[in-house]
């Protein structure tokens, strides 16, 4: 009798598995024994520039502000950012960096000079009132930025001015930041500002977008400037990870000629380059609006975001033509969507926009791409942190909210520091792009699977297989809405948030909701 019951039970399980397999329109095959590489926590980096409302009105409100703050830094921002455990934050630009003299932002604030902001002539600011968006007060400088990154537990990443300063200026900024106490006059100046111990800044960008606002250089001209700026840098109190200004999107010529120029001078010069900075904004689609778009615009923009994968593969191959050992890694230190003006929370916030569910899916698609290429990408910095393009936060006066992008970054935190493993997704297409895509990582017995269902209206049933392993338990965290334009605002800050629930994977099939980002936390037996 017992044998018969066992046989019937096995038959029922087999029929259920067969029925589930037939019901599944997609599959996810996770191969834990095929690791890609460690996922650098720096893939979840951020970017702050002196543009619009990022610094003034976003990060910095001043010690005397009625807005709750810690030493002038907006407290609500600090509290939310700390929950992300941000690995690295880039500053002061962006295009602003190549007009910035670091000396303007050190010493007593009352004595710091006021300058024209690089972005002052942008037409969008023509009708904006005078203020820090047009005239840089330099209240927020090196010491204030270091206070900011230390407050949230991040490492600093400085972008040096190549277009309008000299190698000596660059070396002296490193001296100011990294020389041990009492060793140089610049170290004494740092101590006089309250920071006796060196900052030990590791990450330094040598220019920014040198093909454009960073000097309109050719790749050969920039290679020469890179050699000049990095030649015989004095030894300070920290090893330097130098990041070269890489290409605009798919400009493979910029990559090939820079690497060839360095190698032609001396193959050993490649050892100076820690990272190669790729910039890619997926732009916008259709009407170009952040909040006003249709289903066709939805698919068009998600498709453009998915181009990041091709850019990584193509530039990696181009780099390998010269750097066959791939000593240099990719650093995607500007990425995100770029919508037209109209949804900013303040008219003076240049390039400010209100992120929606669509932008959240762009965040997830991009992070999954980085994780699938964890062996190639060493750092990434979403642009930008607050009140700007692909922002995680919106703030104006005492109002504050987290955006859907913030929730995606928080959902993806378990991947950081884990090992990326091969995950083969097979699914139908939706408007020319894969309907289901994602990545997987392993840490001990904890498997994390993240996936995006890009279909605007239909769920995606996927058969999930983990060959050689059994599932002990699982839970799901999902960010989704039936409203593609769903977003958070000052009036409704919690309209779009993730939901966590137990996940039933006994049948081997999971149904991913339409227009969603999902994280499956799987404990292996």
Catalytic residue IDs:
209, 334
Closest CA to 2 of 18, 10, 13: 10
CA angle 253, 257, 262 (to 5 degrees): 155
Joined together, the tokens standing for residue 156 give: 């600093």
Q: How far apart are CA 171 and CA 184, in angstroms?
A: 13
For residue 255, which of 295, 313, 182 has the smallest C-alpha distance? Answer: 313
Interacting residues of 277 by C-beta distance below 8 A, sequence separation 6+:
205, 208, 243, 244, 245, 246, 331, 332, 333, 334
From CA 55, how far away is CA 49, in angstroms rounded? 7
Element of type H or E holding 440 = strand 436-443
CA distance 149 to 88: 8
What Cα–Cα distance (Å) separates residue 306 from each residue in 198, 278, 312, 370, 411?
Answer: 41, 15, 11, 11, 20
Buried b (16+ CB within 10 A) or exposed e, 178-190: bbeeeebebbeeb
Q: Which residues of 142-173 are buried (b: 16+ CB within 10 A; e: fewer)?
A: bbbbbbbbebbebbbbbbbbbbebebebbbbb
* The token pair that represents 472 in the structure block: 């002990």
Three-class secondary structure of residue 79 per DSSP: helix
Give yes or no for a cis peptide into 384 (omega within 30° of 0).
Answer: yes
Residue 7 neighbours by CB under 8 Å, 6+ apart: none
- The whole-angstrom separation of Cα 340 and Cα 337 is 10
Q: What secondary structure, in 3-state letters, does 268-311 show? A: HHHHHCCEEEEEEEEECCCCCCCCCCCHHHHHHHHHHHCCHHHH
């Amino acid at each position: 009798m017992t044998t018969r019951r066992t046989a019937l039970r096995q038959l029922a399980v087999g029929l259920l598995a067969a029925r589930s397999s037939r019901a599944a329109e997609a599959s996810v095959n996770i191969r834990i024994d095929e690791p890609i590489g460690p996922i650098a926590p720096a893939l979840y980096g951020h970017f702050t520039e002196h543009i619009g409302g990022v610094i003034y009105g976003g990060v910095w409100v001043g010690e005397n502000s009625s807005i709750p703050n810690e030493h002038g830094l907006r407290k609500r921002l600090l509290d939310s950012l700390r929950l992300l455990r941000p690995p690295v934050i880039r500053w002061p630009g962006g295009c602003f960096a190549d007009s910035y003299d670091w000396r303007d932002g050190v010493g007593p604030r009352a004595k710091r000079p006021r300058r024209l902001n690089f972005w002052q002539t942008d037409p969008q600011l023509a009708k904006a009132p005078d203020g820090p968006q047009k005239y840089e007060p330099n209240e927020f400088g090196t010491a204030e930025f270091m206070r900011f990154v230390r407050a949230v537990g991040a490492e600093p990443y400085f972008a040096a001015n190549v277009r309008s300063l000299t190698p000596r200026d660059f070396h002296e900024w490193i001296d100011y930041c990294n020389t041990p106490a009492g060793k140089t006059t610049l170290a004494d100046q740092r101590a006089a500002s309250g920071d006796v111990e060196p900052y030990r800044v590791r990450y330094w960008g040598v220019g920014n977008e040198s093909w454009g606002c960073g000097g309109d250089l050719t790749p050969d001209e920039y290679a020469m400037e890179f050699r000049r700026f990095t030649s015989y840098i004095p030894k300070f109190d920290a090893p330097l990870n130098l990041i070269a200004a890489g290409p605009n999107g798919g400009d493979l010529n910029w990559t090939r000629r820079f690497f060839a120029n360095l190698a032609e001078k001396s193959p050993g010069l490649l050892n100076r380059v820690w990272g190669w900075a790729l910039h890619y904004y997926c732009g916008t689609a259709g009407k170009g609006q952040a909040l006003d778009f249709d289903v066709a615009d939805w698919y068009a923009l998600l498709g453009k975001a998915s181009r990041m994968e091709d850019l990584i593969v193509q530039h990696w191959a181009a780099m390998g033509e010269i750097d066959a050992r791939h000593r240099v890694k990719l650093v995607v230190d500007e990425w995100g969507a770029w919508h037209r003006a109209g949804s900013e929370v303040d008219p003076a916030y240049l390039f400010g926009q209100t992120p929606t569910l669509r932008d959240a899916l762009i965040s997830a698609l991009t992070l999954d791409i980085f994780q699938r290429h964890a062996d190639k990408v060493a750092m990434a910095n979403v642009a930008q942190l607050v009140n700007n393009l692909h922002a995680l936060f919106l703030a104006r006066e005492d109002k504050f909210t987290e955006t859907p992008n913030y929730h995606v970054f928080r959902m993806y935190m378990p991947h950081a520091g884990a090992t990326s493993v091969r995950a083969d997704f097979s699914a139908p297409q939706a408007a020319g792009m894969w309907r289901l895509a994602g990545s997987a990582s392993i840490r001990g017995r904890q498997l994390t699977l993240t996936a995006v269902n890009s279909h605007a209206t239909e769920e995606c049933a996927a058969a999930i297989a983990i060959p050689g392993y059994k599932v002990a338990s699982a839970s799901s965290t999902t960010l989704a809405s039936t409203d593609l334009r769903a977003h958070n605002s000052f009036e409704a800050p919690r309209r779009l948030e993730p939901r966590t629930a137990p996940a039933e994977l006994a049948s081997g099939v999971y149904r991913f909701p339409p227009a969603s980002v999902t994280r499956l936390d799987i404990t292996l037996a």
